[in-house]
Amino acid sequence: MKIEKIEFIFADLPLVRPFQTSFSTQTVRHLVVVKAHTNIGIGWSECVAMAEPLYSSEYLAGCVDVIKTFFLPALKQAGDFQVSEISKILGPFLGHPMAKAALETACLDAQLKSEKRSFAEFFGATRTKVDCGVSVGISSSIEKLEEEVAGYIAEGYQRIKLKIQPGWDIKPVGRIRELYPNTLMQVDANQAYTRADIGHLLQLDQFDLLLNEQPLHEHDIVGHAKLAAKSKTPVCLDESIISLQTAQDAIELKATSVINIKPGRVGGYLESRAIHDFCKEIGIPVWCGGMLESGIGRAANVALAALDGFKLPGDTSASNRYYKRDITEPFVMKNGQLDVPKKPGIGVDIDEDFLNSIAQKRDEVKL
């Protein structure tokens, strides 16, 4: 295939409630939607980076810049390429997995639409529905947290992930565990602790959690291994895993026994599938993470989560957990599950009128 033009649509989607993590409070999802015009048709994706480099070193404006300045000229020079060749063509450019993923996904959508195949079919998905978990932000009080969690439980979410940080951990987690003794629960600190906190983190073992996600700095693989050696709660890496290689290394070093796969963080869906395949082979459970995606990214994530090795409910929540109105048809949860899109490509339609109505800025590159 060949890319003829890429449009970047910058748009803001307000969240239904603020989402506080150990590194920020978001009230709006700043989106960059990518519309790729190719010789075989149009493909869509969204870039999952945040507006600021707080979750990882990438940020939206930087992603658009690296795509325009380096990735598109390299793809143009490559001539006719296959989607499976994109990561190799872009390989000389270090880092920037979220930017690479955005470009690869838009091309994959165009290709699969032209072949009338869905993402799920292309991945080799074995399920038609996926189990939903929900990620619950840090609250202003334990009472507010109880209220929010009660709402999600009533809606049918199958797993609760509590965001934690120093000063907001043992007490809130203990209270939610007390209220819901049988609910699947896990925690995520987004790197807010250090090795000096290992003793403190071991107190989480009393709550029978599914996993403890990325408690330490993304580069502290040895620290995670030290924690894992002492902890009954499985350690799960998120930010540290940026490729199949880093997943293999972290597993070998016993720093992680569960992996959160986020396609943007690892450079795309093809690398995600490779991590899934490797983990399935060696019996490491994986689950699908989230970056507050709009329906565009959610559709592809749900298709990925339908693969066999995704053993735990993902941060694949219903659209209404995030947005009053989405830029695609909404994902609606039924019995704690979302349907895997069946239509070609990402399998959802973009509401371009609505997207245009919330667009703040546009950029385009003709090749």
Does residue 290 bind ligand SMG (CB under 6 A)?
yes
Among 104, 220, 315, 326, binds ligand SMG (CB under 6 A): 315
Work out how close the CB of 203 gets to ligand SMG at its nearest, in angstroms, rounded to a whole number: 21
* Half-sphere exposure (Cβ direction) of 364: Cα atoms closer than 13 Å: 10
* Alpha carbon distance, N-terminus to C-terminus of the chain: 13
Among 131, 169, 188, 218, binds Mg ion (CB under 5 A): 188
Nearest CB to ligand SMG, comparing residues 87 and 135:
135
Q: The tokens of 118 are what? A: 């869905």
Length of the chain: 367
Nearest CB to Mg ion, comparing residues 36 and 250:
250
Q: Which of residues 215-244 bind Mg ion (CB under 5 A)?
A: 238
Q: The tokens of 95 are what? A: 């880092």
Q: How far is CA 152 from CA 106, 326, 333, in A?
A: 32, 19, 11
Could you tell me if 105 and 291 are in contact, meaning their C-beta atoms sit under 8 angstroms apart? no
Q: Phi, psi (5° rounding) for residue 113?
A: -65, -40
Does residue 326 bind Mg ion (CB under 5 A)?
no
Helices 244-252, 221-230: axis angle to 10 degrees equals 40
Could you tell me if 59 and 70 are in contact, meaning their C-beta atoms sit under 8 angstroms apart? no
Does residue 22 bind ligand SMG (CB under 6 A)?
no
Could you tell me if 264 and 47 are in contact, meaning their C-beta atoms sit under 8 angstroms apart? yes
- Which of Mg ion, ligand SMG, none lies near 26, with the C-beta cut-off 5 to 8 A by kind? ligand SMG
Q: Choose the catalytic residue: 262, 280, 334, 366.
A: 262
Work out how close the CB of 271 gets to ligand SMG at its nearest, in angstroms, rounded to a whole number: 18
Q: Which stretch binds Mg ion (CB under 5 A): 114-122, 171-179, 210-218, 297-305?
A: 210-218
Work out how close the CB of 301 gets to Mg ion at its nearest, in angstroms, rounded to a whole number: 14
Work out how close the CB of 12 gets to Mg ion at its nearest, in angstroms, rounded to a whole number: 23
Is 163 noted as a catalytic residue in this protein? yes
Mask for 317-336, x = binds ligand SMG (CB under 6 A) = x-------------------
Q: Choose the catalytic residue: 163, 171, 324, 334.
A: 163
Site for ligand SMG (CB under 6 A): how many residues? Answer: 14
Is 68 noted as a catalytic residue in this protein? no
For residue 289, the 8-state DSSP code is -
Does residue 8 bind ligand SMG (CB under 6 A)?
no
For residue 302, the 8-state DSSP code is H
Give the closest residue to 17 by CA, choosing from 136, 132, 187: 136
Nearest CB to Mg ion, comparing residues 22 and 118:
22
Cα–Cα dist 148/154, whole Å? 10
Does residue 139 bind ligand SMG (CB under 6 A)?
no
Q: The tokens of 296 are what? A: 């565009």
Give Rg (Cα) of the chain.
20
Q: Which residues contribute to the site for Mg ion (CB under 5 A)?
A: 188, 213, 238
Q: Which positions are catalytic?
A: 163, 262
Binding site for ligand SMG (CB under 6 A): 21, 26, 50, 55, 135, 188, 190, 238, 289-292, 315, 317
